[in-house]
Structures are given as C-alpha cells and as structure tokens.
Structure 1
Amino acid sequence: MHTRVDIILSCQKSEKELMSAVNHIYDTLCQLERTANYYDPSSELALVNQAASTTPVVISQSLFSMIALCIEYHKKTIGCFDITIHSENYNQDTIHSIHLSPEASSIFFHQAGTAINLSGFLKGYALDRIKEIVNTHRIGNALISIGNSSILALGNHPSGMGWKVGFRNQTNSVQSDKDQSILLNNECLTTSGNDSCERKHIISPWSGQPLEGVRQVAVVTNDGTTGEVLSTSLFVANQEQRKVLTAEFLPSIIIDL
C-alpha cells in the first residue's frame, strides 16, 4: 500500500481507549505490508515471487487466504481482475499456473516467471480488517481513508447522518461539473483509474498493456474488498462485461469520472 491512512473515530470513549484502537489498526496495517506488499523486497509475497516457480513455498495462513480469495474473484469478474498481470510473459492463463496446497499451506507456480501482485486488492482488504477492529473496540462511528481512494464510513458524523465524502475528477485541477460528494453510511467508496496521462498503472488483462486515458471509476459497496476488486474490474471491462459485473456484485452506486 505505502500510502497515507486517515482515521476519524467518534464515540463516548476515553482518549486512551481510542488510541488503543488506533494502535491496533496501525499494527494490523504494518502486518499486511510485511505480508503482501508487492514492492517490498523483504515481504512474504516478494519471497514467494522469487522462489515459487522453482519449489513449493510454505506461506502464512493470512497470505494463503488472500491469494485464494483473489483467485475466486478472478472467476467472479470473468477475468477482469487478475493478480498475475505483472508476470513475465503474461497471458490470460497465467493465473491458472498458481497451485495452492491447503494440506501443506504452500504455493507453487507451474509457469516460470509468474508473479503475484495484490496491489489492486490490498487496500480494500485492509478496510475490512479495520472494520473488524473498530467493531471489536465497540466504536460505532468512524471514517477511514486509505490513500483517498479507499474509504470506509461507519455510523454517523458527529454533526449529522452518515458521512459526506467529496471526491473530484483528477483530470482537472479546478472545480468541475464532475466534482462529486456522496453520503456514506456503513458503506465503502472505492475509486480506481488513471489520474494523469503519466500515471497509467492499471493493465488490461487482455492486451497486457497499460490502459490509456485519464478516467476513473468509483463504486459504493458494503465491504472494501468487493469495492476494490469491482472498481478495478469495471475500469478494464467493456460494456458487456460491465453488465455481467454489475449483476454479479450489485454495487449500490457506480460513478464514471
């Protein structure tokens, strides 16, 4: 993730109790980074990418579960969401080279050069872990933003119902008619896309090339993981695929920016 996290907690608890929750969140995010950060050469995922093409690698239950979940999402998104997109000699069958052994808690890549990148999944997954922590600490009202693109809103703002969240089409540095605000209540808002001509970081699973154009897709869902996967999938999907994705995931709102 390697990004800023903003946390607002609102409830009738002491500062000590609230800081306990914040520290719990911080520790959980640090653990997720150590486990699944594609860009950290010392992370567990990086070690898997280095070795799993030559020998089975025993992995933590946390990483095993994340990878297994992403493979399921690949099926549900009709191939629009693919964690092997950064593999050498990538093709649409690369993801099928991943072999997970529940008995050995291990992973093996049958195709040389296969690599897993969980970046299009991890922030949403982190939001869901944060939601569990907030609920454990019995905090009813919270707003969590990871990188300003993955947002969890629980309960209400101290001054009213829900949480009003603003976001803007990144193609313009000034206010435009595409500037948006939305009221969230026990929901997640996730945005994916290219925010500049220079930053083309989402790759088409069909061409293997970065998608051109400055545009974004925002979705409102009940959980962060679904939102993260769906916004990325909708960004790469054509119109017919979008219909399938919408029917499968039933997002509350889809906004094209």
Structure 2
Amino acid sequence: MKIAIQHLYRPSHEGDGLLYAWFSSMHTRVDILLYSQKPEEELMSVVERIHAALSYLEKIANYYDPASELAVINRTASICPVILSRQLYTMIDLCMEYHGKTSGCFDVTVHSENYNPDTIHSVYLSAEERSIFFQQPGITINLSGFLKGYALETVRAILNTCCIENALINMGNSSVLALGDHPAGTGWKVNFGNRLETDKIGMKQSVLLCNECLTTSGNESDGRKHIISPHDASFVEGIKQIAVVTKNGAVGEILSTALFAASPEQREALLVNLRPLLIDYFLIGY
C-alpha cells in the first residue's frame, strides 16, 4: 500500500522541532517544512489537514479530471446556468477580475474552441445566484495557471489557524510560500531558474523570502510548451522563465503567467501598472 504522506522529524534541545513532510498532489510533489515548538504528532495533523485541503481543491478544480466540478461546468454551463461551490466561484471570479487587470494577458478561457481574445466576455458569473453560464458553446475554463498559487493561500490559512509561524511550502519548485524564519536564520532562501540556460553572467538564481511567495512560469526546455498566448492561441516558445515575489500566492501565480504570456511591449506596461503588487521579479533567459 502506497503511503500518501512521508515525513522526518528532528527535535532540538531548545524545545523547537523541525518536521519535513512530502506527498504528491496536483500533479507535482509538495514539500513542507514546519518549525515549531508543537510536538511531532500535532505537526503531522497539520500536514494531514494540508493534504486533505489540496486533495479537495484538485477534486473541484482539476481541468483534466472529467469528474471534477470544473469539468462538469465546462460540459454543461453553455446549456444552462450552473450553481458553483463557494470555493470554485471565488477562484473563477478572481481570475475574471485579473483578466482585466492584466490587459487580457491572463485568460482562463484560452483552451476554448474557436478561442479569440473576446471569448472570456461570454462567461457570465452571477454573484447573487453563485452561478456561471457560458453564452456560447465550446467555452472551457482552465485554472491550471492559477491553482497552485491559490493552494498556497489555502495552506497559509491552515497554518495561521494552527498557529504555525515558521514554515516553507514548496509545490514543484514553481510555487513557494515562506512564513517566518528558517531554524538557522532570518527568512528562507529559495533557489529558482537554475535549470535554465542564460547568457547573463551573474544572473540571480535565489531569493530570501519572509512571509512572501515565489511563483514562476516558463519553459525549461525547447520541448516544454504549456502556456498559451491569449493573443493568437499559440504556445509561448523559448527557454525562458519569469519569477515573481508577492505577498499573495494566488495573485503571484496570475502575474507570473500573465507576464510570461505577454508580448515584450505588454510586459513592460504590466510591470509598471502592476508594480504595487510585486515585491520583486526576475526575467530569466530573455
């Protein structure tokens, strides 16, 4: 029988303990470090809550699972309005809001049939009914460029409820939440972009995070093409990556995806317009 959650625990003489746990979720590996005076059993219960919460998010918002709530919506919302769970409504509503804030560079409808930049305007959300309706057939919503960032904020809420002040959550090295401090010092040092080719000597490949999120979008090889341009519905090509540091993981995931999908001119404009939301950003391979 496969063990869903594995972990190691190391106590210290000062009463603090470091728990390292890992498991698979959302098609990636999730690594969790919790540094606290709480006993091992209590820290493991926190990890189990996180595992359950991520499993639930995947159940409702996995584009590729035909049984997910999102998949059902994609099949039926063009026939009649569909009532959404509160969490899925919140996610889609936030994505629709940031479509406007990113000048259309973040678009969850890019996988729709006969997609064009106006497709998203055929998605109708009713706050009063908490429902969604597609005003034309063939529309699909894909939250893959957003879900892990939203998951980080879900994890943050669990850690706050459980009074865990020092933690590092790493989802596939592309979505990271850092709270408080590492046992050996201030903040958490996180590496990124080290697998990408770059001709920029001295390019920064790590960042110190403290109560911040690091989210990245990009291609690590010529064969990796997974982000679709909202301008011409083609895959964004090239070995390059964008990393952003933000206070909010969901917003960070949106911004890294939008900046990667944007044209050079749009990227410059977005970096100016969205600067209040960005603590830092890195363009690698450009």
Q: Which one has the bigger strand percentage?
A: 2
Determine helix, strand or coil for the equivalent of 1:4: strand
Aligned to 1:255: 282
CA distance in structure 2 between the aligned counterparts of 1:64 and 1:226, rounded to whole angstroms: 16
| 1:1-257 mapped onto 2 (5 Å cutoff) | 1-172=26-197, 177-178=202-203, 180-250=205-275, 251-257=278-284
Q: How big is the shift at 1:193?
A: 0.7
State the AA in 2 paired with 1:125.
Y
Q: How big is the shift at 1:105?
A: 2.0
Determine helix, strand or coil for the equivalent of 1:156: coil
Q: Is the 8 A contact 1:84 1:116 kept in 2?
A: yes
CA distance in structure 2 between the aligned counterparts of 1:43 and 1:57, rounded to whole angstroms: 14
Bigger relative contact order, structure 1 or 2 (CA pairs below 8 A, ≥6 apart): 1
Q: How big is the shift at 1:111?
A: 1.6
Q: Is the 8 A contact 2:213 2:252 kept in 1?
A: yes
Give the structure with higher Rg (CA): 2
State the AA in 1 paired with 2:269.
V
CA distance in structure 2 between the aligned counterparts of 1:212 and 1:169, rounded to whole angstroms: 19
Question: Where has structure 1 moved over 3 Å in runs of 4 or more?
Answer: 176-179
Q: How big is the shift at 1:177?
A: 4.8
What count of residue pairs does the alignment treat as equivalent? 255
TM-score norm. by structure 1 comes to 0.95
Determine helix, strand or coil for the equivalent of 1:212: coil
CA distance in structure 2 between the aligned counterparts of 1:8 and 1:249, rounded to whole angstroms: 31
After superposition, the Cα gap between the structure-2 partners of 1:230 and 1:139, relative to the gap in structure 1 and judged at 3 Å, is: same
Q: Is the 8 A contact 2:218 2:239 kept in 1?
A: yes
Deviations 1:144-197 (A, max 9, x none): 01111000010000000110111234335xxx8546111111111111011111
Structure 1: gaps spanning 5 or more residues: none
Q: How big is the shift at 1:214?
A: 0.9
Deviations 1:178-228 (A, max 9, x none): 461111111111110111111100111001000111100011111101110
CA distance in structure 2 between the aligned counterparts of 1:225 and 1:246, rounded to whole angstroms: 17
Determine helix, strand or coil for the equivalent of 2:273: helix
Structure 2: gaps spanning 5 or more residues: 1-25
TM-score norm. by structure 2 comes to 0.86
Determine helix, strand or coil for the equivalent of 1:115: coil
CA distance in structure 2 between the aligned counterparts of 1:179 and 1:241, rounded to whole angstroms: 24
Q: Is the 8 A contact 1:168 1:178 kept in 2?
A: no
After superposition, the Cα gap between the structure-2 partners of 1:103 and 1:168, relative to the gap in structure 1 and judged at 3 Å, is: closer
